Amino acid sequence: MRLLFYFLFTLFSLLSIKAQTEPWQGKFEPIDNMITPPNTYRTASGAPGRDYWQQQANYKIKATLDETNNTISGKETITYYNNSPDDLSYLWIQLEQNVNKKGNEDFGGINNNIKDGMTSRQMQFLTRAIDFPAGYSIKYVKDSNGKNIKTMVNNTMMKVKLNTLLKSGESTSFSIAWSYPITDRSMYSLSREGYEYFPSDDNTVYLIAHWFPRMAVYNDTEGWQNQQFQKLGEFALEFGDYDVEITVPEDHIVASTGLLQNSESVLTKAQRKRLDEARKSFDKPVMVITQKEAEANEKQKSKKQKTWKFSAKNVRDFAFASSRKFMWDAQAVKLPTNTVMAMSFYPKEGLPVWQEESTKAVRHALEVYSEATFDYPYPVAISVNTSNIGMEFPMISFNGGRPKNGKISNNAKQGMIGTIIHEVGHNWFPMIVSSDERKWMWMDEGLNTFLHQRTVAERYPDFNSVTPKSIVPFMSGDKNILRPIMTTSDSELMSQFGANFYLKPTVGLQMLRNSIIGKELFDEAFKEYANRWKYKHPNPADLFRTLEDATATDLDWFYRGWFFTTDHVDMELSHVKWFKVYEENSNIEDQNNTSKVKIDASGKNVQAQTKDFSSGPEMITMNATPDAAYGQFLSRINEPELRKQLSGKNIYEITIKNVGGLVMPVTIEWIFTDGSKEIDTIPAEIWRRNEYEIQKTFIKEKEVKEVNLDPNFEYADTDTKNNSFPKVETASEFDTFKNNKRKS
Ligand SMILES: [Zn+2]
């Protein structure tokens, strides 16, 4: 009791706890009640649990591309493995092409408003005045005995009511026959696939994706994935093996997910020989189809057909491109555990930059991402040129960026190379680390953009890349419009999803890596997350938990602020007080500790909030510690030594206000009168006891002439004008007058 009393007494007497002017918000409290609780499927450490399970879907598909009518039709057999602990009486199939059906297309309401002076194309997007057919015709769904299965379509999803219950641990096979009209990519603002027509040579490039009816995800968090495809929120898909036969006009070249199985019947002897050369070419690509050959192909217009056979193992999707316009180059990329063929397919309209840069960018992405996570596991990585956007699928991506009359601006070239790196990078997130894109766009876009920016920074140092500064304009935006990162994909605005789901998580990860956790520890944790969840379905909580678990760092404060709020970082260096010690009548030999040490001196106005250091250091008095203050302790501080240590030193007490709301570590740059600099960093935890204002005291040998917060722009501070002392004068006299009046 006595001990406790003394303890409390000492605490209250030593600490002067400044009253908070605003209510405590618990910025450092655990986020446990904001994320899904751990269970036997997903552990508290962020790893898959001992009962983790996921479904599997294998596909055998035979499809035919009809160039005359721009349609594709196919038959597929899906073998679905029910690894869940549940018996299933129905399955859900995704029919994404139905989003283009008139009526369904407005589900997500992407283009709604009439503006003054709209173009005819914008008006067509808005009204679909010229109608066109779209969406699936499902011919039949049959079980393995050839018996029809009852189905029911709800927009972009189809319920398959199984004839016999699919028990836990068992599998079922069923077949679907289907077709749909391929849509013109230029008719949509968010067209990830479709055809692009080239009037000059009367040819078409087909980008075929979300083209066959695919299994929806059934998992431990959602049951059946039940969010419709509304164009912005992308895909949630199961892993499986694919055998796909694609029949196209005889003179088409097909670039596809998977490994080509019948090269002898679809490629010429010369093309096969060049591919063999490419397999041994590690320094530069080999042309498999040259410009001359592609231009000769363009003129053929064969009416005959050819079937390309591909096989892909353990992928969550399958896409391809087909055209007689394609040039093709390829080279080998050696990774520690895999040798990959990096390849590009492009029409002559992509020349010369595509031939120069595309496959090279694929290689850079493969190398940097593999090092940061795990080796690219697939046999090929393909970049296909398209008129705009960038879109990813396993082993293949469709990437925008075309020169005009053979010339490309430096900006457009940066954009094109960045897009290729980004889309190839999506092989890791979400194609292998397979998060639910329909729900959390940031989980794949954010993590992928983070590594894409790292690739750009490491391999293209002359190009601009994202830094914390890049997010400042977004984070200073109108809070009535801003949403937190933890917002479902389709609830974000078209004007903001790039900043909120790509850039903001990227910058957050950059801060964790470069400033909060440190590169080595962070990189290991990021790798841990990727390896724990490869070929699996992670949720946000699994990422949050793994990064803490693998670094022994409590990041709940960071997740809470950065991912769950729209607060921003704005720290204000409100004041710096300068003190100096000098000895007055002091006697170093004075063992009785009787003399007073004064901490200067010449300050004219101790109480005033000085704007700079011109009035010199302030004076405070330091008394020798009276015996009573030691309580039961019998030892005494060495007063002369303490005085000696403080003598002649500059003592600075700084006051920092949290204006933006986000708590962050504090980086302080001291610039001394001799021009030299020093940096001190304080961890974010300093904000634990007062979330609005902190004070901290430093001792410096040299005199300081300037103090700056966040000098290297590590924390996306939205207003750097209030980061310095002496204060940078920005307010007009009238503003100052107004502010003073308000205070009084
Ligand atoms: Zn992306």
Q: Pick the closest to residue 521 from 480, 496, 495, 555 (CA basis).
A: 555
CA of 1 to the centre of ligand 1 (A): 62
CA of 431 to the centre of ligand 1 (A): 11
pLDDT computed for residue 594 by the predictor: 45
Cα→Cα distances 146→141, 500, 584, Å: 9, 48, 103
CA of 559 to the centre of ligand 1 (A): 22
Residues β-bridged to residue 179:
73, 137
Per-residue pLDDT of 646-701, as tens digits, reads 888 899 999 999 999 999 999 999 999 999 999 999 999 999 999 999 999 999 99
pLDDT computed for residue 19 by the predictor: 56
DSSP structure class, residue 41: S
CA of 422 to the centre of ligand 1 (A): 6
CA of 127 to the centre of ligand 1 (A): 28
Structure tokens at 399: 């990437």
CA of 46 to the centre of ligand 1 (A): 24
Residue ranges in the chain modelled with pLDDT below 70: 1-21, 105-112, 582-609, 729-744
CA of 166 to the centre of ligand 1 (A): 36
> Terminal CA-to-CA distance of the chain, rounded, Å?
46
Residues β-bridged to residue 742:
none
CA of 546 to the centre of ligand 1 (A): 23
CA of 257 to the centre of ligand 1 (A): 18
CA of 160 to the centre of ligand 1 (A): 31
CA of 428 to the centre of ligand 1 (A): 11
pLDDT computed for residue 79 by the predictor: 98
CA of 225 to the centre of ligand 1 (A): 21
pLDDT computed for residue 398 by the predictor: 98
pLDDT computed for residue 114 by the predictor: 81
CA dihedral 381, 382, 388, 391 (to 10 degrees): -40
CA of 352 to the centre of ligand 1 (A): 25
What predicted TM-score, i.e. pTM, was given to this entire model? 0.92
Residue 427: phi and psi, rounded to 5, are: -55, -30
Identity at 571, one-letter amino acid code: M
CA of 445 to the centre of ligand 1 (A): 5
pLDDT computed for residue 581 by the predictor: 74
CA of 109 to the centre of ligand 1 (A): 21
CA of 429 to the centre of ligand 1 (A): 9
Q: Which residues contact 431 (CB under 8 A, 6 or more apart)?
A: 315, 316, 317, 392, 393, 394
CA of 118 to the centre of ligand 1 (A): 29
CA of 198 to the centre of ligand 1 (A): 27
Separation between Cα atoms, residue 153 and residue 230, nearest integer Å: 16
Separation between Cα atoms, residue 305 and residue 289, nearest integer Å: 19
CB count in 10 Å sphere of residue 399: 31
CB count in 10 Å sphere of residue 372: 18
HEC-encoded secondary structure of 91-158 = EEEECHHHHHCCCCCCCCCCCCCCCCCCCHHHHHHHHCCCCCCCCCEEEEEEECCCCECEEEEECCEE
CA of 450 to the centre of ligand 1 (A): 11
pLDDT computed for residue 604 by the predictor: 46
Structure tokens at 373: 């996570």
CA of 392 to the centre of ligand 1 (A): 7
CB count in 10 Å sphere of residue 288: 25
Q: Which residues contact 440 (CB under 8 A, 6 or more apart)?
A: 486, 488, 489, 539, 540
Separation between Cα atoms, residue 335 and residue 341, nearest integer Å: 11
Separation between Cα atoms, residue 154 and residue 229, nearest integer Å: 11
Q: Pick the closest to residue 691 from 666, 719, 661, 722 (CA basis).
A: 661
